Amino acid sequence: MNGLQRAVFDAVYASREQRRRRRLAALYLYARHFLHGLMLTWPFFLLLGAGLFHADSVLFYLLLAFLVPGLLGWLLIYGKGARRDYERLVRGRILHKGYLRSLH
């Protein structure tokens, strides 16, 4: 790009509307990855969560020791996928109206 084209692109890219569209796209991607991961792992977390309510003190802490790192790892893995999709599909692009419908 020459200097004028780059200046116009930067002005449009930094506009309030483009920032709003990028935030909505990021929110959509994070929600999509979160829900996809939840569909795949919900039985595991449901069993661990149910065990937390019916456990004595030692079993409660043992289940909690597995549940918390599992949740954090799950969030990190799916958050990384959402960030990768954001970099691939959103960053550095001018987003048109209705762009969210084209994200798959």
Strands (E), the chain: none
- Per-residue model confidence as pLDDT tens digits over 73-94: 888 999 999 999 999 999 999 9
Between 3 and 56, the more confident residue is 3
Query: Could you give the number of structural domains in the chain?
Result: 1
pLDDT confidence of 65, banded at 50, 70, 90?
A: confident
The residue segments making up the domain with residue 81 are 3-102
Nearest 5°: the CA angle 20, 26, 30 is 145
Q: Specify the pLDDT at position 74.
A: 85
- Per-residue model confidence as pLDDT tens digits over 10-24: 999 999 999 999 999
> What is the value of pTM for the model shown?
0.78
Count Cα atoms within 13 angstroms, Cβ side, for 17.
Answer: 8
- Per-residue model confidence as pLDDT tens digits over 30-63: 999 999 988 888 887 787 777 777 777 777 777 7
**Which amino acid does the sequence have at 32?**
R
